[in-house]
Structure 1
């Protein structure tokens, strides 16, 4: 029909008599195409069965609703506000029944307000709950009708509130509130309430509380894991040996049993101990590190077990807790345990058996709760054979033994280690990361590393300091390498071999002077580089030069 546009309208109505004749038509209902549809008795029967149905014309689509009236049927037509409504009506034959269910569901109430926060609709179950007669709440401010509502906030802010708990009288309800927009403007809001009996809500609340407790426990576990992973990532490398080591640490860390870490000097035993602690349930408490080889034999016992006031000359007036007391609820890491005196080994064994420590000069044992990690670069079995280490103590400290690979066993990790150490040194010296020549890694991988990772870092740090700014070459390593037969890891002690005897101050002054002279010689008189190498300011270097 060429004149269809003359009937164009957004709404329409058609009144049909019992005999099927059209008695009246308004708006789009006057369109001959629609009149032809409604004149078909079969179409009318299908429409009555659905009650809500689509009406599709070439230039516009409508949603229709049919209702029985006296002596006939009334059809109302309107253009839907968007494709979603039309698609819903087109796809679902019982669309009307679904809408009716939503509006009358006894367990899911609904309230609708306009942009002035006045109620325009409230479902029957809502009216019954608030003691309202049908339609009594319409037109009133929502806050006057619904206790503790926030619908007026939602229509004002345009921000939805989903899954909120709202108290209504003596009950708590789960509520969702959504702004309704038309043409990007908030025109109202809809609130939906899950209506269940108080017992069901309380059961839900208990379940929510239990879940929240589980979530908190999971968050704590995740935080422990993430903190531990940071320390695990500090064990640099992708070689099979390192990947296996990291996997062993993950498995062992949660187990509250002693661990003995074996490995050559400079292989990173303390890093492993820290990772074990941070991945363990004790990570919130302290990790107390003790280097048994660095403690004077006369002080080992007081350092480990503490002392009471006046127990020996020079003791603190209030006494002092030992390392085991400080490690209570946490982890104690005994590094170089193979160098511990036999007498102290006996007392350590007693602490491990009884979990009690007694301070030097005291007579009251204190209970301690700790996890023990030990480390050594010694052959403890050989020490046991020589009578230098107790066999019963060995079995106490070594239910699990971790053996760390030497750098010689993981040469493929050198490029990653070198990059990591160079970045660290660059940050410490406040200098840019240098460009590394292609053959530097190959050069480093071909060298011998008796001092392991510690030696590698020392060599890289020294080459970085001497290198021309911006580039690191093999020459920078070769020019300042150790003398033939001398281990790089020992070069930092070379001066100590020639320090003269006599007063300590004189010896220190002489050593300091020679360090300054060596630094200036290495950098061909460049005072800035010499000061950076020595870790002092240039003004301090000038004073040392004057002296």
Structure 2
């Protein structure tokens, strides 16, 4: 008896020494109870005492079975193994009815010996679990609906529509893409800088069965050569100085099940080309610092603005890799070889910038389109896009006319590759002066006569603007 009294005194002292912070923390749990190695109650939080309609002081030191006859905590302690997610039913004295909740029972082990046990409920009522399950089920149904909607939209929108142009060269490329997009064959896109190779790569991915998986892009020329390998194949933690603790997956793993675009493949170092060839042949990657190959299923698209056959002759590109990535080659023509596509491209870009800038540019006048078709566009479609962007800024609520095209005329006058009659040059000079006057006057009206602001919009120095005002007698 003295032993029991001493034990009860120790437990009471233990409870009394609980700080308010600890008590508040333990009371935050739904139902929480601690027992010692003899399955006697050492602590019970307030929510649990309220359900059982007992006082904490009255149950301290009592066998748990005498207070909660249905508890399985003694059996769990005897087994030494936690019991997670068990259902338990008790009579709730607060509500006057039975309640069921999820209970986690855990033995407390120190130095291999069970020194006590703890039980805690994660849900006050099973109804909460059903509510949670219903929410998860609803989210799954919504996700399925979203996936169906995305698939329907994908079928309604033809990815080839984003390849703008009706010229014979573009139509031929579209036909080839339609044939081979779903084949899984490696594709090599060749063409000058700015022709829009990524647009064609996007169409290839979107038309394939991999369209709902990742489309990963990496520019081999934009990443330092000593980092390119880790970007492509990933690395394990501690593989090199500065490596992330948990490692990092590479682009091949990220594109697993989808498509990987290697832009500017001609810039890839020779040693890395060998590793890439092995990955394509074995269909597996090995991270830097790793020892276990990782299987990958990737459709590869490569693009370049270089002559790879010349690089092979120069010893800068592997012939075997070239033949591996060049199963199908799509040679994208420069804009100068498809000038008939300029009207369609201009219309596309005008609509694009109207959406982006909430502007209302009405289109491009035929006179401007004719002017654009005289230019050789060394920057190709990208250069045309930037020209249209500037013209849309200058004409946010009107049609793009010749008066806004002073800078384009400067391009034309410096383009010595044009073939036109000599007489046309003098008329063009006259037209240029007239357009320059109109543009300066229009810009001054937009800026309420603020010459400094007008010069910034025109992209010229303020002193140049003053010279032109004097030259053309503009007040």
State the TM-score, normalizing by the size of structure 2: 0.55
The structure with the larger Rg is 1
Which residue number in structure 1 is paired with residue 269 of structure 2? 341
Of the three residues 371, 381, 404, the one matched with 2:299 is 371
2:332 aligned with 1:404, yes or no?
A: yes
Of the three residues 171, 174, 181, the one matched with 1:246 is 174
Q: How does 1:207-286 map to 2 (within 5 A)?
A: 223=151, 226-227=154-155, 229-286=157-214
Q: How does 1:115-514 map to 2 (within 5 A)?
A: 223=151, 226-227=154-155, 229-467=157-395, 469-479=397-407
Aligned-partner Cα distance in 2 for 1:272–1:467: 30
- Which SS does the other structure have where 1:428 is aligned? helix
Cα deviation, residue 523, structure 1: 6.8
- Which SS does the other structure have where 1:310 is aligned? coil
Task: Give the 3 Å change call, closer, same or farther, for CA 423–263 of structure 1 in structure 2.
Answer: same
Aligned length: 285
Cα deviation, residue 406, structure 1: 1.3
Task: Give the 3 Å change call, closer, same or farther, for CA 294–227 of structure 1 in structure 2.
Answer: farther
- Which SS does the other structure have where 2:300 is aligned? strand
Task: Give the 3 Å change call, closer, same or farther, for CA 383–526 of structure 1 in structure 2.
Answer: farther
- Which SS does the other structure have where 2:273 is aligned? helix
Aligned-partner Cα distance in 2 for 1:380–1:454: 23
**Preserved contact between residue 273 and residue 373 of structure 1 (Cα < 8 Å):** yes
Tell me: higher relative CO, structure 1 or 2? Use CA pairs within 8 A at least 6 residues apart: 2
**Preserved contact between residue 375 and residue 412 of structure 2 (Cα < 8 Å):** no
Cα deviation, residue 247, structure 1: 0.7
- Which SS does the other structure have where 1:301 is aligned? helix
Aligned-partner Cα distance in 2 for 1:413–1:280: 26
**Preserved contact between residue 361 and residue 400 of structure 2 (Cα < 8 Å):** no
Which residue number in structure 1 is paired with residue 101 of structure 2? none
- Which SS does the other structure have where 2:216 is aligned? strand
Aligned-partner Cα distance in 1 for 2:454–2:235: 45
**Preserved contact between residue 258 and residue 298 of structure 2 (Cα < 8 Å):** yes
Aligned-partner Cα distance in 2 for 1:227–1:437: 35
**Preserved contact between residue 310 and residue 317 of structure 1 (Cα < 8 Å):** yes
Which residue number in structure 2 is paired with residue 155 of structure 1? none
Higher strand share goes to which structure?
1
Q: How does 1:523-534 map to 2 (within 5 A)?
A: none
Task: Give the 3 Å change call, closer, same or farther, for CA 530–397 of structure 1 in structure 2.
Answer: farther
Which residue number in structure 2 is paired with residue 111 of structure 1? none
- Which SS does the other structure have where 1:265 is aligned? coil
Q: Deviations over 1:443-467 (max 9, x none)?
A: 1111111111001111111222234
Aligned-partner Cα distance in 1 for 2:376–2:297: 43
**Preserved contact between residue 277 and residue 287 of structure 1 (Cα < 8 Å):** yes
RMSD, matched Cα = 3.3
Cα deviation, residue 479, structure 1: 4.0
- Which SS does the other structure have where 1:299 is aligned? helix
Gaps spanning 5+ residues in structure 1: where?
A: 1-218, 488-518, 535-547
- Which SS does the other structure have where 1:261 is aligned? strand
**Preserved contact between residue 258 and residue 399 of structure 1 (Cα < 8 Å):** yes
Aligned-partner Cα distance in 2 for 1:358–1:227: 37
Aligned-partner Cα distance in 1 for 2:245–2:457: 42
**Preserved contact between residue 262 and residue 377 of structure 1 (Cα < 8 Å):** yes
- Which SS does the other structure have where 2:221 is aligned? helix
Task: Give the 3 Å change call, closer, same or farther, for CA 393–531 of structure 1 in structure 2.
Answer: farther
